[in-house]
Amino acid sequence: MRICLFPGTFDPITLGHVDIIDRSIPLFDKVVVGVGLNSTKTPMFSAEQRLQWIQEIYKNQPKVEGAVYEGLTIEYCKLIGARFILRGIRYVSDFEYEKTIADANRTLDKSIETIFLTGEPKYTSVASTIVRDIIRNGGNASPFLPAEVYQSLKK
């Protein structure tokens, strides 16, 4: 079974993330969207809220599941039997950063491969950091967010 982990903070999950997840579905038997708890980041939304959004967006897609994890991504891959790590690339600078992480992960475990998917051009400007800023300042973040996320923020 080809299990893939798509790790990230997903704070919040954006249309850019959804684009990468949707395009990865035909490639794997199971895609685990892993909300990583990062001690160096203070998220705007709780891990529970981020997981709930993932579950709501993919409630009709049995190949996608959400999870929350802590610690090394490579260790979580081993725990869930994932042999692939999925990463989205928007810009060349993303690739340089992501490649260093992929190289480190390969050093830790050669049996787990990192797969890069480039984002659709229309989503390249969609970064969670920018979306959080829009939300924090009362702007309309709907062009960047899945309907499920936007609707829950309006409440």
The C-alpha R_g of the chain, in whole angstroms, comes to 15
Q: Are 87 and 115 in contact (CB under 8 A)?
A: yes
Distance, in Å, from the CA atom of 137 to the CA atom of 97, rounded to the nearest integer, reads 29
β-sheet bridge partners, residue 135? none
Q: Is the preceding omega at residue 7 within 30 degrees of 0, hence cis?
A: no
Whole-number Å distance between alpha carbons of 9 and 151? 20
The dihedral region occupied by 81, where left means phi > 0, alpha psi between -120 and 50, and beta the remainder, is left
Q: How far apart are CA 73 and CA 102, in angstroms?
A: 11
Active site residues: 17, 41, 90, 128
